[in-house]
Amino acid sequence: MTDQLQVTPETIKRRTEILELVKANKFGKAETAARALLADHPDDAETISMLGAVFVAQQKFPEAEAALRRSLELAHTKPIPWVNLGRFLQQHNRWGEALDHYTRATERFPAQVIFSGTLGQLLQRAGQFAKAEQAFRLASSAEPNNAAHFVNLGMVVLRQDRLDEAVTLFERAIALDPKNAAAHGNLGNVHQKRQDFVAAEKAYERASSLNPKDIITYVSLGMVKLKLGHMRDAADIFERTLSRHGPERRAAAWFPFARAQDLGQMPAGFRAELARTISRKSLTPPDGYASMAELNTALADALKNDPTLTWEPVGKATRQGGQTGLLLDVPREPFLAFEKALRKEIDAFFDNVKVEKTHPYFGQVPRTYQLDMWGTLLSEGGHQHPHIHVGGWLSGVYYVALPPSMGDGETTKDGWIEFGSPPPDFKADFEPQPLAYEPREGDAFFFPSYAFHRTLPFSGNEQRISIAFDLKPTSWR
């Protein structure tokens, strides 16, 4: 039993004073007041939680975490301490721990949609769509009149290619909330996947009219106009997006192809512009490893035995190969050592970027960033079709192990990485101008996330092992 259940008027008054100090950004005084109250009531879970919030504001993160965990220990039957610690874990990109935390919270509070809904989002981020579906179904059962739950549920059902069911869910969301732009936009995604581009165009136009600030849906409208053969309209949408809203990944990726389809040839200077955005970097060994070869041996073994390794995962570009989940969601060696080496090279790259205002890649330089990375293990004939990384800003690939059957560049370019070709379902009326680069063990390529790229097929019995990564800025220089 904690003394939080026997709160006196005096305690309430002192808590209120602490909150007022926090609102006034007087964090030092708020900390002093919270510590004084805890000296009288050391097991007051609510005040401990408030002290944790003060520590977060002061960027005293270890102290904040200790306070939030202590508050949860004292008041584990109440939802708020679970919420506070969960948010802390998410804010610090500790995704694996956050996933475990919200799993336990959902089991304890199944009727609280703040837990089941967040759990669904975390599972969706991790690519666990079937489990995310279970969490979103729990949320929609708890709040059957909340359209947002049916949108979330429809999205993960769509990712599992159950198109008819996804339509039913999005239509239910629209019945609950006819002005729900996300429901209309996702309905457009289903129609587009069905290749009913006229219906998709109508859904995207409705979504854009409901929420003109939704750039993702607006670009999707451009994509469907592209597939309807309205090249000039598509190019105008992409160009307008880039000029008004900055470097949206799909707009930057498709704009040159839309212009080329309209004009019959790639824009002048396309290859030169693409080439200058691609950088090859040789990583240096992190502490604990005598060479990159030693680190590569450890990485290859860890990737081959990673429990998340999945053959040709649904919704990914990998063919004749396997792909892991996000390696840093559960931080461990040797991936932490690799992350350190990679961040060192990324930071050095950013230090030398010359900012070019309005450029979709060189227009800004990240100061801080989240790094997602995953392994790809390709077998004979393995490849990746042309794709972009919609969620990234800078993307890249590091080569852990390469088979001896890689092309030499003169007779073949088997196993090389190629940039600048559109996806196979895009029937180009122009000649693409791709660039191919030879991978080397210990090297990484950095490139804008909007650059279409693919792995060329190769032969042989040995695997081609690499680590791909996305950088997502959290602040700018």
Specify whether the CB–CB gap between 220 and 192 falls below 8 A. yes
Neighbours of 357 (CB within 10 A): 7
pLDDT tens track for 156-214:
999 999 999 999 999 999 999 999 999 999 999 999 999 999 999 999 999 999 999 99
Cβ neighbours of residue 392 closer than 8 Å, sequence gap 6 or more: 249, 372, 449, 470, 471, 472
Contact present, 173 and 154 (Cβ < 8 Å): yes
pLDDT of residue 311: 81
- With residues binned 3-state (H G I as helix, E B as strand, rest as coil), the percentages for the chain, rounded to 5, are 55, 15, 35
Digit-coded pLDDT (tens) for 211-228: 999 999 999 999 999 999
pLDDT in tens, 441-475: 999 999 999 999 999 988 888 899 999 999 999 99
- pLDDT band of residue 321 (cuts 50, 70, 90) is confident
Q: Mean pLDDT across the stretch 142-157? A: 98
pLDDT reported for residue 292: 97
* β-strand partners of 394: 448, 471
Instruction: Among 127-136, 178-187, 309-318, 357-366, name the one with the lowest average pLDDT.
Output: 309-318
Position 3 scores a pLDDT of 42
> How long, in residues, is the chain?
477
Instruction: Give Cα 408 to chain centroid, integer Å.
Output: 35
pLDDT at residue 382 in the model: 72
**pLDDT for res 2:** 46
For 276-476, give the CATH class.
mainly beta
Q: What is the token pair recorded at 82?
A: 């679970």
In this predicted structure, what is the pLDDT of residue 1? 40
| pLDDT tens-digit series, residues 330-353 | 999 999 999 999 999 999 999 999
